[in-house]
């Protein structure tokens, strides 16, 4: 079986705060391989594809607006169980309660904008990873 891959995004808050390097350092220290990496200014259509599963939820429109607020760094990663492993590095969705030691737990909190500014995205299944890698690395 080929090594698993996942799609990671450093979201606009992570890029704007100069945390891209710190986040990539954690990924590399964990031993995952960066297969490809791009700085991207996604448009609304691109983000609608990426977040299709959340369309209609109360946080959907604010999430898209937040994701349009600045460039993101898209990273294609490979490694055994990298999908699960990166989500473990990232921590819980809500950065306020994400464990210290995780990316969201160490660098994130609620800034009064609910939980949307949580620094990173990571695919949640092999199917999502394949779909999302296709969206960001065509």
CB 16, min distance to ligand IDP, A: 15
Considering the complex, state which of residue 36 and residue 94 has its C-beta at the smaller distance from ligand IDP. 94
Q: Is 50 in the site for ligand IDP (CB under 6 A)?
A: no
Token pair belonging to 36:
């490809």
CB 35, min distance to ligand IDP, A: 21
Instruction: Tell me the CB-side half-sphere exposure of residue 70, using CA atoms within 13 A.
Output: 12
Q: How many angstroms separate the CA atoms of 103 and 101, rounded?
A: 7
Q: Please name the helix (run of DSSP H) or strand (run of DSSP E) that holds residue 35, with its range, or none.
A: strand 33-40
Which residues sit at the interface with ligand IDP, rule CB under 6 A? 54, 59, 63, 93, 114-116, 118, 121, 124
State the catalytic residues. Answer: 121
């Amino acid at each position: 079986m080929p090594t698993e891959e996942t799609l990671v995004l450093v979201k606009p808050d992570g890029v704007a705060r100069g945390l891209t390097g710190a986040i990539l350092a954690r990924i590399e220290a964990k031993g995952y391989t960066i297969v490809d990496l791009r700085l991207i200014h996604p448009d609304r259509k691109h983000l609608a594809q990426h977040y299709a599963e959340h369309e209609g939820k109360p946080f959907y429109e604010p999430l898209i607006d937040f994701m349009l607020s600045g460039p993101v760094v898209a990273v294609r990663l490979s490694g055994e169980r990298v999908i699960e492993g990166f989500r473990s590095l990232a921590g819980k969705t809500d950065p306020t309660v994400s464990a210290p030691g995780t990316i969201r737990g160490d660098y994130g909190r609620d800034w009064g904008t609910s939980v949307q500014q949580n620094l990173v995205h990571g695919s949640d299944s092999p199917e999502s990873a394949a779909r999302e890698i296709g969206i960001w690395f065509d």
